[in-house]
């Protein structure tokens, strides 16, 4: 290959790569279209780890949940003064492993705590009082409260945690989200600063492909204890 041909080939490749890297796959979409697509693509992701905190009923809640599409979720939900519990959900059944503070704050008798301590409490997801927990363990349930008709605006291309991203801002308040700037955008973070707000962060790589269910020896039938 002659030097002239080689130079021309390298120039063509360089131009193509440069053009591809600068193209914005979301340039032709409005802020609402980007937000709607990001929510849909996040819900369709095969695995998502959701971490963050927020306030509900006056309590500060922290979550760390790995959610697998069509399989369920597992992780931890905690509140500083009420305690925490591990949760496993397979779409039908929920297993909960409360800590000692959780039992204490809920006034569970010591004799019952002695029986339950160290065991997952197993119950049907549609059991009264557990449906909201099952909802949190579903991406569609977790993201279902997002107001898709809200007045929002799209920022310029930027980066978030090293990833190409677009910032979507709530025009009526202080909330915002960062969305990955790809042809299949996904939520990177949702943040609503201030009292009553919270933040959720989303990670899509390095996650398990299956939910690890507690064994029979680790489990107690919750229906025997009012669950």
Residue extents of the structural domains in the chain: 31-225
Q: Which residues of the chain register pLDDT less than 70? A: 1-22, 56-57
Phi/psi of residue 211, nearest 5 degrees: -85, 135
- The reported pLDDT for the residue numbered 57 is 66
pTM: 0.84
What would the pLDDT profile of 183-215 be if each residue is shown by its tens digit?
Answer: 999 999 999 887 777 899 999 999 999 999 999
Looking at the chain, which runs of residues are DSSP E strands?
47-56, 59-68, 72-79, 83-89, 93-98, 120-124, 152-160, 163-170, 176-180, 187-192, 198-203, 219-221
- The reported pLDDT for the residue numbered 17 is 36
Residue 118 contacts residue 137 (beta carbons within 8 Å)? no
Sign of the dihedral through C-alpha 27, 33, 37, 39 = positive
What would the pLDDT profile of 31-57 be if each residue is shown by its tens digit?
Answer: 999 999 999 999 999 999 999 988 766
Q: Classify domain 31-225 by CATH number.
A: 2.50.20.20
- The reported pLDDT for the residue numbered 20 is 40
- The reported pLDDT for the residue numbered 1 is 42
């Amino acid at each position: 290959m002659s030097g002239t041909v080689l130079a021309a080939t390298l120039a063509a490749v360089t131009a193509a790569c440069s053009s591809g890297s600068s193209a914005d796959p979301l340039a032709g979409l409005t802020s609402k279209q980007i937000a709607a697509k990001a929510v849909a693509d996040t819900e369709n992701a095969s695995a998502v780890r959701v971490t963050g905190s927020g306030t509900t009923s006056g309590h500060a809640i922290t979550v760390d949940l790995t959610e697998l599409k069509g399989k369920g979720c597992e992780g931890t939900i905690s509140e500083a003064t009420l305690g925490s519990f591990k949760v496993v959900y397979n779409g039908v059944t929920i297993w909960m492993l409360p800590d000692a503070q959780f039992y204490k704050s809920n006034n569970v008798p010591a004799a019952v705590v002695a029986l339950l301590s160290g065991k997952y409490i197993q119950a049907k997801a549609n059991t009264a009082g557990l449906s909201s927990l099952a909802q949190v363990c579903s991406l569609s349930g977790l993201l279902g409260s997002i107001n898709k008709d809200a007045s929002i605006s799209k920022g310029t291309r930027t980066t978030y945690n090293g990833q190409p991203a677009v910032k979507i801002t709530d025009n009526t308040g202080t909330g915002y989200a960062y969305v990955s700037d790809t042809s299949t955008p996904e939520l990177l973070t949702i943040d609503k600063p201030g009292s009553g707000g919270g933040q959720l962060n989303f990670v899509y790589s390095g996650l398990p492909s299956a939910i690890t269910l507690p064994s029979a020896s680790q489990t107690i039938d919750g229906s025997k204890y009012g669950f």
